[in-house]
Amino acid sequence: MNDIKLIAFDLDGTLLDSVPDLAVAASAAVEALGYAPVAEEEVRDYVGNGADVLIGRTLSRSLTLDPDLDPALLVKARYLFDDFYAQGGHKLSHLYPQVKETLAALHEQGFTLALVTNKPSKFVPDVLAQHGIDHYFSDIIGGDTFPEKKPNPMALNWLLEKHHCGAKQMLMVGDSKNDILAAKNAGCYSFGLTYGYNHGEPISDSQPDYVADTIADLLEVVAVCA
């Protein structure tokens, strides 16, 4: 790891604690359809695989989607979720400690920074701008930008091609096994954070190249690599 040029970041659970807003929207959506509300702690286990899966899990009250759920119900619930989430204005979400400072330092040092999230694309620009970090990223890739989401490496491979980098010149930073698996599938390095949302599993179980409790540790890792 001595030639890192490109660093890709996950968003929810890595840079931003967005679960409070997601939980409010998901709970309101399923309640509007006659289902019981869900608690924020439940939603913390449900996020990470995109909005469709989040809504399916909320309706199922389980990490495993109920195979008997009506597809039309899922579509309606997703529509309601998007509406409630937009109405909330992301007012309950907040950056994790040292995120802004770390991004600023990496940007100043000349690293190319990209955002690769499974969050629906239409919500991402406003969220980043609201927290004052949008200008750090050369590329912003949402969960519907490409046909496949993480852990599929499609987005990471696109970044590698765009920026003319080899796989070993990229580092993926995330909090879930989807991020680490995406990195492995693209052949690049991974940096796993112990906080965030990983369905209750330790991020170390996914065997990232680096494990850290704070994103600021990333500065030491890339300094060693430089």
CA distance 60 to 36: 11
Q: Which residue has the tokens 């289902």?
A: 35
Check if 66 is active-site. no
Of the residues 3, 10, 68, 213, which is catalytic? Answer: 10
Beta-bridged to residue 12, according to DSSP, are 16
What is the radius of gyration, based on Cα positions, of the chain?
A: 17
CA distance 169 to 6: 6
User: Quick check: 25 and 84 in contact, CB under 8 A?
Assistant: yes
- Nearest CA to 184 among 140, 218, 151, 221? 151
34 Cβ partners below 8 Å, 6+ apart?
none
- The residue count of the chain comes to 226
Half-sphere exposure (Cβ direction) of 96: Cα atoms closer than 13 Å: 24
CA distance 156 to 151: 10
**Token pair recorded at residue 117:** 């999230």
CA distance 147 to 197: 23
Which are the catalytic amino acids? 10
